[in-house]
């Protein structure tokens, strides 16, 4: 396999799974001269005039969709770790004797451990999409037949829209659907919130199958997925485990170090002048992020400040702020708990967003760069502010990119990281995997100090008299190395075997992930 050095100085394959790639050319440097994907013209002649697209079962729908060896099948991850349907889908595909599927999920979760046997027996050729947990480990060990491709949420939309990935059959889990295929995720026992991650699939896939455990009479309103894009509707008893779909694990961190990080972030944002009437920020559902919301809310109440919108990952914490009038809108990309689901269902100011509106880089702008501040995690940061969010310093691929790369385009991107994890320093000399170029990362907040990217002279100026522990990354690293006994051990990697690549938001290849050999 031939590797070339890209503009970030990382070595990346020229070809991935037989398809030629464009190496990363720098932030804002690459523009496609192509045209967007162009599905065939359909006709109402081929669809039932009474709008009833229900077929017997999933196998029947797959047959009618022309399922064949080597096809690309997409799924979405709104059912998160409660997803039963995707496992059932591949049980069905396996039972039909089909091989070499490219599985194109928006993300996979530990519950998809079930699919490792299908990766082993050739049913699934490779995965393009986030591989959280066991599937990531499997890939890192070099066991997957093809090469993995990791994309951000926006990058996934871009790849589908631009025709880089042609989906043969999209299978969309729908907590509510009508027989025409209009579907949403806010009604029914498997309610999960918005279905935005399935939007591109519904628009561009050749065949679209909606699977529901909650069939409602036409019209299913809201139609987050439009039946006009759907071929078949399948009824099943259950899409998943509701307790794990909306996991209820979205709780504020109790760790004193992490609480301190959150408090630093809120104070930093305040002192930097970000927290003012009409401001906006992006909040995730991790423990530190939820704590940031808590501290920001306190500041907002004391100062009488109202935010225009918060981008979520919505949780009860955001919903409360909306209800209390502290924010005008929640712009919600993913709904993490039932409070979020009910709020999206009932409150017109809790608005579903999609990777198209929020993150697609190949669009006439998107929401991500409009947001005043985005607060994000990372597994590693290096001294040039480059960051990693998919692998650990032992080399294992264990997380997806999510909207992380896309959110870096916020007016102020803030990484919140404990300075070490399990006694392993997190600020390193060079990140194991490059996911975010340092030029896009403005601030790194740890419990031992806040580092501002030297490029952001404006922030350095605003904070120059701050009592916050503003330090350089080098200083923080030195202190942590002293605590942990030096730099983390180098991962044991087979640099001849790339197991997966990380794409940038424009479709170019940013970095390679190598086989772990220990």
How far apart CA 137 and CA 73 sit, in angstroms, is 22
| 22 lines the binding site for a second copy (CB under 8 A) | no
Q: Of 151-180, which residues contact a second copy (CB under 8 A)?
A: 161-162, 180
Using CB under 8 A, pick the residue from 18, 20, 43, 485 that binds a second copy: 43
Tokens of 231: 């071929």
Count of CA atoms in the C-beta half-sphere (13 A) of 273: 8
Residue 126: which H helix or E strand, with range?
A: strand 124-127
Q: Per-residue contact track with a second copy, 87 to 126, x per CB under 8 A?
A: ----------------------------------------
Cβ distance to a second copy smaller for residue 344 or 451:
344
Contacts of 513 (CB under 8 A, 6+ apart): 139, 140, 148, 150, 390, 391, 395, 397, 433, 498, 499, 500, 501, 502
In whole angstroms, how close is the CB of 331 to a second copy at the nearest point?
A: 6
First-to-last C-alpha distance (Å) of the chain? 22
Residue 305: which H helix or E strand, with range?
A: none
Is residue 211 classed as helix, strand or coil in its secondary structure? strand
| 304 lines the binding site for a second copy (CB under 8 A) | no
CB 12, CB 21: distance < 8 Å = yes
In whole angstroms, how close is the CB of 46 to a second copy at the nearest point?
A: 8
| 36 lines the binding site for a second copy (CB under 8 A) | yes
Cα 91 to Cα 44, 72, 244, distances in angstroms: 32, 16, 21
Residue range at the interface with a second copy (CB under 8 A); choices 115-123, 318-326, 365-373, 384-392: 365-373
| 422 lines the binding site for a second copy (CB under 8 A) | no
| 41 lines the binding site for a second copy (CB under 8 A) | yes
Residue range at the interface with a second copy (CB under 8 A); choices 3-11, 32-40, 85-93, 463-471: 32-40
| 218 lines the binding site for a second copy (CB under 8 A) | yes
In whole angstroms, how close is the CB of 43 to a second copy at the nearest point?
A: 5
Residue at token pair 């385009």: 409
Residue range at the interface with a second copy (CB under 8 A); choices 18-26, 81-89, 214-222, 486-494: 214-222
| 325 lines the binding site for a second copy (CB under 8 A) | no
Torsion of CA 409, 412, 413, 418, to 10 degrees: 180
Total interface residues for a second copy by CB under 8 A: 63
Cβ distance to a second copy smaller for residue 40 or 325:
40
Cα 74 to Cα 55, 166, 238, distances in angstroms: 19, 10, 19
Using CB under 8 A, pick the residue from 357, 433, 453, 512 that binds a second copy: 357
Checking DSSP bridges between strand 509-516 and strand 493-503, what pairing results, if any? antiparallel
In whole angstroms, how close is the CB of 357 to a second copy at the nearest point?
A: 6
How far apart CA 431 and CA 384 sit, in angstroms, is 10
CB 455, CB 439: distance < 8 Å = yes
| Interface contacts to a second copy, rule CB under 8 A | 28, 31-51, 53, 161-162, 180-181, 208, 217-219, 221-223, 226-231, 278, 308-309, 329, 331, 348-349, 351, 356-357, 360-367, 369-370, 409, 411, 506
């Amino acid at each position: 396999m031939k590797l070339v050095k890209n503009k970030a100085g990382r070595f990346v394959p020229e070809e991935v799974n037989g398809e030629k790639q464009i190496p990363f050319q720098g932030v804002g440097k690459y523009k496609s001269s192509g045209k967007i994907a162009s599905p065939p013209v359909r006709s109402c002649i081929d669809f039932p005039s009474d709008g009833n697209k229900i077929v017997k079962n999933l196998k029947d729908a797959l047959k009618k969709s022309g399922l064949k060896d080597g096809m690309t099948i997409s799924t979405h991850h709104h059912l998160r770790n409660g997803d039963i349907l995707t496992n059932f889908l591949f049980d069905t595909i396996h039972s039909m004797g089909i091989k070499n599927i490219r599985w194109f999920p928006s993300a996979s979760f530990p519950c998809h451990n079930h699919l490792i046997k299908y990766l082993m027996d050739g049913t699934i050729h490779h995965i393009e999409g986030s591989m959280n947990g066991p599937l990531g480990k499997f890939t890192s060990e070099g066991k997957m037949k093809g090469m993995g491709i990791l994309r951000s949420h926006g990058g996934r939309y871009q790849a589908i829209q631009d025709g880089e990935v042609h989906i043969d059959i999209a299978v969309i889990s729908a907590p509510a659907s009508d027989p025409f295929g209009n579907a949403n995720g806010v009604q029914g026992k498997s309610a999960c919130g918005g279905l935005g991650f399935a939007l591109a699939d519904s628009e561009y896939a050749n065949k679209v199958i909606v699977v529901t455990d909650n069939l409602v009479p036409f019209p299913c309103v809201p139609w987050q997925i439009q039946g006009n894009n759907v071929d078949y509707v399948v009824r099943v008893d259950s899409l998943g485990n509701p307790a794990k779909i909306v996991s209820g694990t979205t709780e504020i961190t109790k760790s004193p170090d992490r609480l301190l990080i959150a408090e630093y972030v809120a104070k930093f944002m305040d002192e930097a002048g970000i927290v003012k009437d009409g401001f906006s920020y992006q909040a995730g559902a991790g423990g530190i992020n939820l704590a940031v919301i808590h501290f920001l809310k306190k500041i907002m109440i004391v100062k009488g400040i109202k935010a225009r919108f918060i981008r979520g990952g919505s949780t009860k914490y955001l919903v409360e702020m909306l209800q209390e009038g502290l924010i005008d809108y929640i712009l919600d990309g993913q709904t993490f708990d039932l409070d979020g689901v009910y709020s999206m269902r009932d409150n017109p100011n809790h608005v579903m967003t999609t990777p198209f509106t929020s993150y697609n880089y190949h669009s006439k702008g998107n929401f991500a760069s409009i947001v005043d501040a985005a607060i994000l995690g990372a597994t590693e940061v290096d001294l040039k502010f480059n960051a990693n969010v998919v692998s650990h310093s032992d080399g294992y691929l264990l997380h997806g990119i999510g909207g992380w790369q896309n959110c870096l385009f916020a007016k102020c991107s803030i990484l919140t990281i404990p300075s070490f994890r399990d006694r392993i320093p997190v600020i390193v000399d060079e990140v194991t995997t490059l996911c975010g170029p340092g030029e896009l990362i403005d601030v790194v907040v740890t419990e031992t100090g806040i580092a501002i990217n030297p490029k952001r002279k404006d922030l350095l100026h605003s904070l120059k008299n701050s009592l916050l522990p503003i330090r350089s990354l080098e200083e923080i690293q030195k202190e942590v190395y002293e605590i942990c006994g030096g730099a983390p051990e180098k991962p044991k990697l087979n640099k001849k075997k790339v197991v997966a690549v990380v794409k940038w938001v424009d479709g170019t290849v940013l970095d390679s992930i190598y086989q772990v050999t220990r």
